[in-house]
Amino acid sequence: MSSQDKDEREEKPLFRTLTPNDQTDRLQYRSIAIAAAPPAFGMMGPRNPLEQMGTAFPGPMGFNIASKKSAGVSKMPEAATAPPSFGTRVDRTKYVNVTPRDLPPAPFRLELHTHFHVKLESTQRVCGIVGIKLCELDTDFEFKADKCKWKIEYRRNAQRVSLNIVIFKTSKDEYVLEVQRREGDITALMYLYHELKNMFRRSQLLSDKTSTTNGVKRAATKPLPKLPLSSKSIQDGVSALKGLLESKYEDAQMQGVLGAITMSTREETRAGMAGLVPQLVLLGQHHNSNVARLVSVALSRLCDHPQCRQAFINSDGWQFIVDCAAGGSNVKPEVQRESLHVVETLCPLNMSSQDKDEREEKPLFRTLTPNDQTDRLQYRSIAIAAAPPAFGMMGPRNPLEQMGTAFPGPMGFNIASKKSAGVSKMPEAATAPPSFGTRVDRTKYVNVTPRDLPPAPFRLELHTHFHVKLESTQRVCGIVGIKLCELDTDFEFKADKCKWKIEYRRNAQRVSLNIVIFKTSKDEYVLEVQRREGDITALMYLYHELKNMFRRSQLLSDKTSTTNGVKRAATKPLPKLPLSSKSIQDGVSALKGLLESKYEDAQMQGVLGAITMSTREETRAGMAGLVPQLVLLGQHHNSNVARLVSVALSRLCDHPQCRQAFINSDGWQFIVDCAAGGSNVKPEVQRESLHVVETLCPLYHDELIKSESAGRVLKLVQEWQKIEDPRLKKHACNAHRALKEAGVLA
């Protein structure tokens, strides 16, 4: 290469993109300018050239900086051989004649965790601060002046996110700034959100009074005022939702459908939402089942209005709703219910006046819609709203907690034997039930080696893992087993993965989860709780109980104190109202309707309602009419429904009238098969079924002996002392004693 070519090449600046391989231990930038810019620190940290605008930014951001031209350019020093400095990135947007829109009234809702309030300064200053931070974070953005909105593409290391930032003006003379995720990584979005919020805090423009902790403990968001709806605000809301529904991103479409559901809860908005119906019909045939499922809910609400019904019929492809209403193996129950509701609203369009009069005379049994009472929670079934409350020390209590000594520790309740109220007077010593001891984990945690923690991009569950000291594996696993027995869980241990598969019940809450132990590179274990299905509150309770167990054992590596998740005030206990025969009859009638439903989730709610209602002694006599339907559901193909039925029958058969109704029901012998156990019978089902057999033995032992599985049950009962599980052992012992007194066993 000639010297002239070399000189020409040196004079040309090099523009290139840094790759992740250049500097992996620091933040990567899209352009070399930000990484190479010389730092300039003032009173409040690194300064951006936009801060050099002087009077354009009054207050703490006003700096009088000398012009860079004063240094001259005639004589080049020796340092000129260094790569040229291109300066830092500057936001060239002119934020003039920009007016933020008024905050839309309810049912519009801001993103819960990604908005904050700022003082009512000049719009140019507020927008300028946003622009400074977006340049500082090296984002690609486009500003929409008519909506006061930024459309942004942000990259943070290997994380990418597409988002919008919008500024609204509230009725309290302040601005509210909202960050809306469209697609991509949530952690990158939250980082940008907190950086932007801290920028406004340093500028003394933040209205919120609490200090930032980057998302850990944050104050409750400020309640927004409820404003009356105008035709302009409805039109703007519909326009915004239409933009989301027409988006190419599935999560934006999801937000649009959810917004349509929320907006449709107010009667005055539905007439203006007819324009959304064709796009909803199109999304109803979407390949994403989650989007399609929500579309059926939205159409179910909108088609209650005549204009929306007409728009629905005029849409292309609306017939898909009929296919969904017909059901099938690939149609979820919720989709079928909502689709059938749409068909229901479309049917009576051409009805004669005589038919209308006859229809008005007949009582309507239907599901509550959002139009009935918009200011209170709506229930899918009447059972939840009508079920009588049963409250104890720790909230609503489930009859599973009333099993006495079978639940050691915090769940142990000493309940007097119900046979103490019997006809014959027994000696005081005989009334006390025999002690079967507490449940013990018989698993041998030997030759168990936790796996190494997988490298990135594998990530642990954010809020449900903790680190423990590197003690012997047998001791760490033993502590987990002790707590799982104490919480009365059903679990299975996989030694090759050092993993427990668990079924946990707390009150009426149920959850399926895994617990896994990994070994980290810092010579410690990390224990992770993974939810698979069920109630998140039950999982968090188990997680904190397990973590406290390790803290008491002085094995916890974390130094922070436990707060059981979020600090919240205890709920006020509801008063216990006396039950009348009318209220019991109404509750039983509602439960019977659910149990006879053809939908499995309605049947599930009916069984759960029967379990809850049976916790009070005075209600059981009136519940005998439910027993035949429960026996029928006990032979259901859905294992979850059948499992809960055994719990309900176990409670009801403590009452004489329910026992009589059980024996008179067709197919009651299935309970004996379940009590005998087997590879296809879950431990909980066997325990509850054996409890039913135990209650039937004194009076109905002849009928029990005639059942097919009687031989296996008799063998189990005779060998009750060999049973390891104390919960099953208790029921087998009581059944053995009852059969012995009846003369069936020698």
For residue 333, which amino acid is it?
Answer: P
For residue 170, which amino acid is it?
Answer: T
Q: How many CB atoms lie within 10 A of CB 719?
A: 11
> Would you say 268 and 371 are in contact if contact means Cβ atoms under 8 Å apart?
no
Give me the pLDDT at residue 184, please.
Answer: 78
> Would you say 745 and 704 are in contact if contact means Cβ atoms under 8 Å apart?
no
Beta strands in 381-535 (DSSP E): 391-392, 395-396, 451-452, 465-469, 490-494, 499-506, 509-519, 524-534
d(CA 682, CA 678): 8
For the residues of 154-171, what is the DSSP string, one character each?
Answer: EEETTEEEEEEEEEEE-T
In the chain, which residues fall in CATH 3.30.310.80? 92-203, 451-553
Of 408, 387, 459, the residue nearest 605 (C-alpha)? 387
Give me the pLDDT at residue 725, please.
Answer: 81
Give me the pLDDT at residue 22, please.
Answer: 43
For residue 186, which amino acid is it?
Answer: I
Q: What is the mean pLDDT of each run of 10 residues along the chain (746 residues)?
A: 53 43 41 38 40 39 41 46 61 89 81 88 91 90 92 80 91 89 86 94 80 47 65 86 86 84 83 90 82 84 87 85 85 80 77 47 43 42 38 38 37 39 44 66 90 79 89 92 91 93 83 92 89 87 95 81 49 62 86 87 85 85 91 84 88 89 87 87 87 85 81 88 85 86 77
Write the DSSP symbol of residue 216.
Answer: S
| Encoded tokens for 719 | 């060998």
Helix (H) / strand (E) element for 733: namely: helix 726-741
Give me the pLDDT at residue 44, please.
Answer: 41
| Encoded tokens for 704 | 């029990």
Cis link prior to 38 (omega < 30° from 0)? no
The Cα-based distances of 60 to 121, 175, 280, 294, 536 in angstroms read: 13, 20, 49, 48, 46
> Would you say 742 and 701 are in contact if contact means Cβ atoms under 8 Å apart?
yes
d(CA 638, CA 633): 9
Instruction: Count Cβ atoms within 10 A of the Cβ of residue 40 and give its class: 0-12 exposed, 13-18 middle, 19 or more buried.
Output: middle
Exposure class string for 422-432: b at 16+ Cβ within 10 A, else e: eeeeeeeeeee
d(CA 133, CA 339): 47
Give me the pLDDT at residue 200, please.
Answer: 92
d(CA 79, CA 71): 14
| Encoded tokens for 204 | 């003394």
d(CA 379, CA 633): 23
| Encoded tokens for 449 | 């080696």
Give me the pLDDT at residue 365, please.
Answer: 44
| Encoded tokens for 542 | 């188990």
* Neighbouring C-alpha atoms within 13 Å toward the C-beta of 603: 23
Q: How many CB atoms lie within 10 A of CB 209?
A: 7
Angle in degrees, CA 310, 311, 314, rounded to 5: 90
Give me the pLDDT at residue 548, please.
Answer: 94
Write the DSSP symbol of residue 556.
Answer: B
Q: How many CB atoms lie within 10 A of CB 615?
A: 20
3-state secondary structure of 717: helix
Of 599, 603, 593, the residue nearest 634 (C-alpha)? 603
Of 469, 468, 407, 461, the residue nearest 436 (C-alpha)? 407
| Encoded tokens for 483 | 């707590």
Q: How far is CA 684 from the centre of its chain?
A: 26
Beta strands in 362-473 (DSSP E): 391-392, 395-396, 451-452, 465-469
d(CA 265, CA 253): 19
Which CATH number fits the domain 92-203, given the four candidates 3.30.310.80, 3.40.309.10, 3.30.230.10, 3.40.50.2300? 3.30.310.80
Give me the pLDDT at residue 381, please.
Answer: 38
For residue 361, which amino acid is it?
Answer: E
Of 586, 581, 464, the residue nearest 529 (C-alpha)? 464
> Would you say 89 and 31 are in contact if contact means Cβ atoms under 8 Å apart?
yes
For the residues of 571-582, what is the DSSP string, one character each?
Answer: PPPPP-PPPPHH
Give me the pLDDT at residue 370, please.
Answer: 42
Helix (H) / strand (E) element for 32: namely: helix 32-36
| Encoded tokens for 23 | 């500097």
Write the DSSP symbol of residue 70.
Answer: G
d(CA 739, CA 746): 9
3-state secondary structure of 174: strand
d(CA 7, CA 3): 6
Write the DSSP symbol of residue 532.
Answer: E
* Neighbouring C-alpha atoms within 13 Å toward the C-beta of 484: 25
Give me the pLDDT at residue 575, please.
Answer: 56
d(CA 535, CA 513): 10
User: What does residue 664 show for φ and ψ, rounded to 5 degrees?
Assistant: -80, -5
d(CA 579, CA 625): 18
Give me the pLDDT at residue 508, please.
Answer: 64
Of 703, 698, 640, the residue nearest 671 (C-alpha)? 703
Cα distance between the two ends of the chain: 109
In the chain, which residues fall in CATH 1.25.10.10? 232-347, 584-742
| Encoded tokens for 533 | 């299905």
**Which residues are CB-contacts of 598 (< 8 A; sequence separation ≥ 6)?**
none
Domain 584-742: CATH superfamily is Leucine-rich Repeat Variant (1.25.10.10)
The Cα-based distances of 161 to 20, 113, 167, 189, 255 in angstroms read: 17, 17, 19, 7, 16
Instruction: Count Cβ atoms within 10 A of the Cβ of residue 506 and give its class: 0-12 exposed, 13-18 middle, 19 or more buried.
Output: buried
3-state secondary structure of 395: strand
Instruction: Name residue 733's beta-bridge partners.
Output: none
451-553 folds as TATA-Binding Protein (3.30.310)
The Cα-based distances of 481 to 30, 464, 471, 550 in angstroms read: 50, 18, 16, 12
Instruction: Name residue 504's beta-bridge partners.
Output: 511
pTM of the predicted model, to two decimals? 0.37
Give me the pLDDT at residue 191, please.
Answer: 93
Architecture of 232-347 per CATH?
Answer: Alpha Horseshoe (1.25)
Residue whose entry in the numeric block shows the structure tokens 């009234």: 105
Q: How many CB atoms lie within 10 A of CB 679?
A: 4
d(CA 596, CA 613): 17
| Encoded tokens for 82 | 């260094």
User: What does residue 42 show for φ and ψ, rounded to 5 degrees?
Assistant: -120, -145
CA Rg, the chain, in Å?
34
User: Residue ranges of the alpha helices (H) in 473-599?
Assistant: 473-486, 536-552, 581-595
